[in-house]
Homo-oligomer: A and B are copies of this chain.
């Protein structure tokens, strides 16, 4: 599977955030080489604390598959998931998580925690990190830089 191909689509999702003044994070879910869900962060737009890209993508993928188990699915997400999203990935039984860049302040898949690899929980997820890292990281850095200029 071509991880860069799918991560580029997650980045395209993240870029949609820029028109909405949302922190640019995009996520897609792939099964058998097909994209079954794509989403971007909509916390401000939906006025909902849970509306991270990953949660919205999981909701969409569950709907697409008609059940809550995302067996044999892969999530591509531009930023390392937070505790909420990492926990949601475990709850969904997703197989693989591929993320672009780490979040040292809030990441829960290797930075502050590694929830998706915790042997004590009832499911473990394979992690691949650093796919198109520079592009994913630059998108976030430029967003926060332009925010600081505006404030």
Contact = CB atoms under 8 A, between A and B. Distances in A.
B120 A108 contact: no
Given A82-B91, A84-B84, A50 B58 contact: yes
A124 interface: no
A105 interface: yes
A47 B67 CA distance: 5
Contact of A90 (B55, B84, B93): B84
A85 B85 CA distance: 9
Interface of A: 43-44, 46-52, 55, 58-59, 62-63, 66-70, 82-88, 90-93, 105-106, 108, 112-113, 115, 118, 120-122
8 contacts: A48-B63, A48-B68, A49-B58, A49-B62, A50-B59, A50-B91, A86-B87, A106-B121
